Amino acid sequence: KQNIPRPIIGDLVHIFANDVDFQRPVTAGDSFEAFYQESEESEGRDELLFASITTRNETFKYFRYATTDNGLVDYYDENGRSNRKFLLRQPLASARMTSPFGTRPHPILGYTRMHTGVDWAAPMGPPIFAAGNGTIVKAGRESGYGNRIEIQHANGYITTYNHMQGFARGITEGMSVRQGQVIGSEEHTSE
Residue range 127-137, pLDDT digits in tens:
888 988 899 99
Mean pLDDT by 10 residues, the chain (191 residues): 84 81 79 87 78 90 86 84 74 72 76 76 80 92 90 90 88 91 69 38
Is residue 146 helix, strand or coil? Answer: strand
Closest CA to 159 of 133, 122, 140, 184: 133
Q: For residue 10, which phi and psi values (nearest 5 degrees)?
A: -60, -40
Contact 74, 82 (CB under 8 A): yes
pLDDT at 190: 38
State the maximum Cα–Cα separation within the chain, in Å, rounded to a whole number: 60
pLDDT at 44: 63
Alpha carbons 46 and 58: distance in angstroms, whole number: 27
Alpha carbons 112 and 108: distance in angstroms, whole number: 11
Contact 77, 16 (CB under 8 A): no
* Beta partners for residue 58, in sequence order: 55
Taking only the tens place, the pLDDT of each residue in 43-65 is 667 889 999 999 888 899 999 99
pLDDT at 134: 92
Contact 179, 84 (CB under 8 A): yes
pLDDT at 189: 40
